[in-house]
Structure 1
Amino acid sequence: MRVRNPKRRLTVYAAVAMTGALALSGCGANEDEGSNNDKSEVEVFSWWTGPGEADGLKAMQADFEKKNPGTKFTNAAIAGGSGTQAKAVLASRLQNNKPPDSFQGHAGAELLDYIKAGQIEPLDDFFKQNNLNSVYPKQLLDQITYKGHIYSVPVNIHRSNVLWYNPEILEDAGVDGPPTSIAEFITALKAVDAETGKVPLSLGAQWTADHLLENVLLGSLGTDAYNALWEPGADWGGAAVTKALNEFAEIMKYTTMEAASTDWQGAAKAVVDDKAAFNIMGDWAYGYFVGAAPNGLGKKLDTDFKYAPAPGTEGTYMWLSDSFTLPKGAPHRGGALAWLKEVSSKEGQDLFNPKKGSIPARTDADKSLYKGYLQYAFERWNSPDIKLAGSFWHGVTANNKWHTDIDTAVGLFLQNKDVGKLQEALVNAAENSGQ
């Protein structure tokens, strides 16, 4: 697949960010190698328990069981949006040498710690044996490659910078369509607050504020300057970042955060329940909105909700990819490899993604299965003029330490509302990231 310069730029940043990790030898994951090729069972660890994602996993599981009738599938999913709880449990298991057979991880810098610690196997042979190098986009393969080796199997592509909105509330507030800039967004939030009595912008658990932050940074700074933040020596203390953080602080004045137990779903649901005007969330929300009950809400696009790129981000796809790994010492290595075959297969991805609210990582997917918003996402991802920006919160550009330090900084900001302290903390987080 030919990759244009805008798409290649992000992978260069990721490659720079990944320098300094230890090289792992060998190609790994040869399906005929290894002392343990037990296929009697596979324990799959993920955080897919919510509406849409759980349905997608269930569909893939059914296809896996059909193809592997002698293999018991154990769903070890841990609840918690964005994997916050699951990653803590996973870290404990890996430290105690009790890995699952395969675990979910965001493609990109999020996997660096596992690579450095020698906790996951390279998958070059697996990709070659299953002819995957020709069906994944080159820019995605570049992102999951470190020092010539591939370490995960992507199942999808998500877009992080999506504005979901309630058209009736906007009309009542006198807002003429979705805002296209940060300044317009702030004006719209003020109008909703003054004219309707509804929540201008809904948030969920704390991580949804981190998610909002990355969207405001992208919308305020622009694609190139946002991507540059993840390069070594980036200027997090500059005036442009100060301006973006002040805009973030202003936007936060018009938010209502749901209880942590409701996670992102409660915040998204507020939009289609006519309680909130806007919600900035990844496109997994689409699967939740349109999915059938009991897990989905059964809502209709263009009637109950609409979508647009997050303010200021038109023409840019802030992306992330869910992927699966092969842990070293997997108890049922044969089962794990069979699962990775399912994850990487055209059938598996076409079963999973329409329910999850994402598009396939493979380029040969059945386009007819992707309707409504997903058709739009499919076309935008594959557009030759789209720019890419990696989601820091969802693991593309920031390693786990950096990710945690940003979350801590945002958590403190939610308490003290001090932009200066937030920027200082973000500067320190970048300097101490170890990337």
Structure 2
Amino acid sequence: MHPNRMTALAGALLCAALPLAAVSPLASAAAPARGPTAEVIHWWTSGGESAAVKQVAQAYRAAGGTWIDTAIAGGDQSRAVTINRIVGGNPPTAAQFNTSKQFLDVIEQGMLNNVDDVAAKEGWEQMLPAPIVNVIKVKGHWYAVPLNIHMQTWIWYSQAAFKKAGIAKEPATMDELFAALDKLKAAGIVPLAHGGQAWQETVLFSAVLANLGGRELYLAVIRDRDQKAIASDAFKKVLLAFKRLQTYVDAGSPGRNWNDATAMVSGGKAGVQIMGDWVKGEFTAARQVAGKDYGCIAGLGPTVPYLIQGDVFVFPKTSNPAAVRAQKLLASVVVAPATQLAFSQLKGSIPVRMDVDATKLDACAQKGMAVMKDKARQIGVTEVYLTPDQNGAIQDVLTAYWNTAMPVEKAQKNFAAALKNS
């Protein structure tokens, strides 16, 4: 999973003529069902992602169900196919979305079944973090089951690069981070590995806002869209620090994919990357070990917000009793501790429930689990609080500010206009 500009319902419906060839069921020739049969649409197509979702499929089969896997590359494409099939009267049993407002339109159009009875039986209200509850529970009903938690603003660094640059201590403040970047530059190492794509610039901005502005400013700006907070000197400092980061990227940054930026860090060509915990798959593929070959910082300080998102399954509307049974069985299987742990071990995320055995997770995931025990640090990413249109609007402002000589005052005004309450 990685953040991208979300497709609104209207946009997705324009894809109604999407060719069936875009859908590639991996198990379309499944054996006749002996129990509830679930066709699940998702976009986990990379090696690590595919291995992770197989853990859910195996758990579903072990619970007596039959899993039909429909993998579609690309989040926007996958969501569009899901919505088109619902509209066309041929809905899947379940479909992947992100933990965000991106399926709010689908709920409002009456396209989803709820799983209220499963949520009540499993105690979701008490078990799940508040930012996730606030997304998947809409007007008193539970419309999605969460598979995991991703944190998108981890600070990753190369141990070898830090050693070469003479950085003996892990940065613990923004000032220390900038000092480390300066040392990397002086040592001839690319300080900040960055993929110059709009969504990645939003990740960098979110990291600066969380680490420099803290919980209060982050929520005032992103959740509350407080115009006074956006116009404040404190927010201006955030924008200036965000733009300062651009002085540490290399000339090849524009258009670079996030995984290519990660390869720069794992290869010692760059010192730091600010990106979500899905990058761990790239480090693992490079045979690197957390705490030995690379380091991970969840926040520059003990109170920095832990910006969480993740993946969920939603359940398209159906009155077919067999399909409803399949949906409820899947919801129950997904939140089971064993499924949560097996999925996150391969996905790079952490489980949504805190009662799993954290010792079975890697060192960075264990750090994340420890942070999640402090509920005050559990904050949603921008997509949790903003609609797809709002998120796209601030993304446009941030990438324009990053890539041009736009004065900070103009960026601040444009940001305010993008989030002005109408």
Kindly report which structure 2 residues correspond to 1:205-220, keeping only aligned pairs within 5 A, or say none.
205-220=197-212
Which secondary structure state, in structure 2, belongs to the residue aligned with residue 248 of structure 1? Answer: helix
CA distance in 1 between counterparts of 2:301 and 2:243 reads 17
Once the two structures are superposed, residues 214-271 of structure 1 have per-residue CA deviations (whole angstroms, 9 ceiling, x without a partner) of 11111221111111112154432332222211111110222246575x6322222221
Kindly report which structure 2 residues correspond to 1:274-293, keeping only aligned pairs within 5 A, or say none.
274-290=268-284
Is residue 334 of structure 2 the alignment partner of residue 343 of structure 1?
yes
Kindly report which structure 2 residues correspond to 1:115-264, keeping only aligned pairs within 5 A, or say none.
115-133=107-125, 135-137=127-129, 140-203=132-195, 205-229=197-221, 230-235=223-228, 236-256=230-250, 260=255, 263-264=257-258
Task: With the length of structure 2 as denominator, give the TM-score of the two structures.
Answer: 0.80
Of 101-110 and 208-217, more deviation after overlay is shown by: 101-110
8 A Cα contact 2:38 2:327, kept in partner = yes
Kindly report which structure 2 residues correspond to 1:306-385, keeping only aligned pairs within 5 A, or say none.
306-311=295-300, 315-329=304-318, 332-383=323-374
Cα gap change, 1:124 to 1:275, in 2 (>3 Å): same
Cα gap change, 1:84 to 1:163, in 2 (>3 Å): farther
Aligned position for 1:112: 104
Among candidates 296, 303, 325, match of residue 292 of structure 2: 303
What displacement does 1:38 show?
12
What displacement does 1:430 show?
0.8
CA distance in 1 between counterparts of 2:126 and 2:364 reads 27
- The residue identity in structure 2 corresponding to 1:202 is H
CA distance in 1 between counterparts of 2:48 and 2:395 reads 26
CA distance in 2 between counterparts of 1:273 and 1:184 reads 23
CA distance in 2 between counterparts of 1:372 and 1:422 reads 38
Is residue 420 of structure 2 the alignment partner of residue 431 of structure 1?
yes
What displacement does 1:46 show?
2.7
CA distance in 1 between counterparts of 2:128 and 2:395 reads 32
By percentage of residues, which structure has more helix?
2
Cα gap change, 1:197 to 1:377, in 2 (>3 Å): closer
Which secondary structure state, in structure 2, belongs to the residue aligned with residue 100 of structure 1? Answer: coil
- The residue identity in structure 2 corresponding to 1:274 is G
- The residue identity in structure 2 corresponding to 1:389 is I
Of 310-319 and 164-173, more deviation after overlay is shown by: 310-319
CA distance in 2 between counterparts of 1:87 and 1:412 reads 27
Aligned position for 1:397: 385
CA distance in 2 between counterparts of 1:130 and 1:314 reads 30
CA distance in 2 between counterparts of 1:48 and 1:101 reads 17
Of 405-414 and 237-246, more deviation after overlay is shown by: 405-414
CA distance in 1 between counterparts of 2:61 and 2:269 reads 42
CA distance in 2 between counterparts of 1:431 and 1:351 reads 42
Among candidates 253, 267, 273, match of residue 267 of structure 2: 273
Once the two structures are superposed, residues 394-413 of structure 1 have per-residue CA deviations (whole angstroms, 9 ceiling, x without a partner) of x3221211112122223333
Once the two structures are superposed, residues 353-383 of structure 1 have per-residue CA deviations (whole angstroms, 9 ceiling, x without a partner) of 1111222112332333223222222222124
What displacement does 1:337 show?
3.1
Once the two structures are superposed, residues 98-146 of structure 1 have per-residue CA deviations (whole angstroms, 9 ceiling, x without a partner) of 5433222333434433322323233212212455445435664355323
Aligned position for 2:400: 412
CA distance in 1 between counterparts of 2:261 and 2:303 reads 23
Aligned position for 1:75: 70
8 A Cα contact 1:319 1:390, kept in partner = yes
Task: With the length of structure 1 as denominator, give the TM-score of the two structures.
Answer: 0.78
CA distance in 2 between counterparts of 1:189 and 1:72 reads 48
Among candidates 44, 59, 62, match of residue 63 of structure 1: 59
Aligned position for 1:388: 378
CA distance in 2 between counterparts of 1:415 and 1:87 reads 30
Aligned-residue sequence identity (percent) comes to: 25
Aligned pair count?
Answer: 384
CA distance in 2 between counterparts of 1:429 and 1:167 reads 39
Once the two structures are superposed, residues 50-77 of structure 1 have per-residue CA deviations (whole angstroms, 9 ceiling, x without a partner) of 34333211222222233335x2412323
CA distance in 2 between counterparts of 1:217 and 1:412 reads 18
Aligned position for 2:5: none
Which secondary structure state, in structure 1, belongs to the residue aligned with residue 170 of structure 2? Answer: coil
Of 363-372 and 89-98, more deviation after overlay is shown by: 89-98
CA RMSD, Structure 1 to Structure 2 (Å): 3.0
CA distance in 2 between counterparts of 1:330 and 1:352 reads 30
Cα gap change, 1:165 to 1:63, in 2 (>3 Å): same
8 A Cα contact 1:43 1:73, kept in partner = yes
CA distance in 1 between counterparts of 2:35 and 2:400 reads 47
CA distance in 2 between counterparts of 1:211 and 1:107 reads 16
CA distance in 2 between counterparts of 1:347 and 1:99 reads 28
- The residue identity in structure 2 corresponding to 1:390 is G
Which secondary structure state, in structure 2, belongs to the residue aligned with residue 279 of structure 1? Answer: strand
